[in-house]
């Protein structure tokens, strides 16, 4: 499932927060949007979500999923960061496996649904955050010893050695699992989406993924002003600073 397209004219604006990528191997699509508080689930978005999930179940098995290029590229990206993708799966892969198993995806809000659809379509983790709960510039870095947060759907997520997004208060998100501190609710008014794409992915595919998020926000979330940009990748570190797992890593069901 590739995505194609060009960024809308609203792209590349200072309303997007400063995002500093410190981990090698990733580039990011950033979308900042104003949206009206939600009053209910959009029926059309639910239909689109269900249609995409049905396609995935008919197209992929656990075995074929691991060989789909976006998933293998994201797993390699995690390995370069020193984060075992079989122990702590990328959020996009976890969603896809849940769909293939026939399990339902929790429907939190239209805004979160849009991020989840994007992750399922592209195979890339899509973070969705309440921008009013983020303070200052955002760093994408490796988690430090002792860092942790209350995760969404998990009581405590320990972050040491794992890829994290961090603001002036500390870590708030990860392409594995996000925090409750910055999670989106139906009353959220300022949204920040971060699409985590491997450096090897094409610029046109990443631009297309950003455009899809913007299109769905306009259609299903009564989005007002929307700004977007592409950042990264970070400079390649020295060989001695990299911590990697072997390519033939155990792939657990």
pLDDT, one tens digit per residue, over 124-144 is 999 999 999 999 999 999 999
pLDDT at 3: 34
* pTM reported for the whole predicted model: 0.87
Inter-residue contact 71 to 235 (CB < 8 Å): no
Residue 240 reports pLDDT greater than 70: no
Inter-residue contact 93 to 65 (CB < 8 Å): yes
Inter-residue contact 191 to 131 (CB < 8 Å): yes
Domains and CATH numbers, the chain: 19-234 (3.50.40.10)
Inter-residue contact 205 to 30 (CB < 8 Å): no
The confidence band for 198, taking pLDDT boundaries of 50, 70 and 90, is very high
pLDDT digits (tens, 9 = 90+) for 2-41: 333 333 333 344 456 789 999 999 999 999 999 887 777 7
pLDDT at 252: 43
Section 63-79 average pLDDT: 95
pLDDT at 15: 52
Report the percent of the chain where pLDDT is more than 70. Answer: 86
Per the prediction, the chain carries an average pLDDT of: 86
């Amino acid at each position: 499932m590739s995505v194609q397209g060009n960024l809308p004219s609203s792209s590349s604006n200072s309303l997007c927060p400063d995002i500093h990528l410190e981990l090698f191997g990733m580039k990011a699509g950033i979308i900042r949007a104003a949206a009206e508080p939600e009053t209910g689930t959009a029926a059309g978005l639910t239909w689109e979500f269900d249609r995409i999930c049905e396609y995935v179940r008919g197209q992929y098995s656990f075995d074929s999923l691991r060989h789909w290029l976006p998933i293998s590229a994201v797993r390699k990206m995690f390995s370069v960061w020193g984060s075992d993708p079989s122990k702590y799966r990328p959020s996009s892969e976890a969603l896809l496996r849940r769909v293939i198993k026939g399990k339902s995806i929790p429907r939190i809000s239209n805004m979160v649904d849009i991020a989840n659809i994007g992750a399922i379509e592209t195979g890339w983790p899509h973070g969705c955050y309440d921008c009013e709960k983020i303070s200052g510039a955002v760093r994408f870095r490796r988690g430090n010893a002792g860092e942790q947060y209350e995760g969404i759907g998990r009581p405590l997520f320990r972050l040491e050695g794992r890829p994290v997004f961090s603001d002036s208060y500390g870590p708030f998100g990860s392409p594995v699992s996000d925090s409750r501190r910055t999670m989106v609710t139906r009353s959220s008014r300022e949204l920040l989406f971060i699409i985590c794409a491997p450096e090897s992915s094409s610029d046109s595919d990443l631009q297309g993924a950003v455009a899809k998020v913007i299109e769905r926000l306009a259609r299903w979330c009564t989005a007002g002003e929307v700004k977007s940009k592409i950042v990264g990748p970070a400079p390649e570190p020295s060989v001695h600073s990299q911590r990697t797992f072997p390519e033939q890593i155990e792939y657990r069901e």
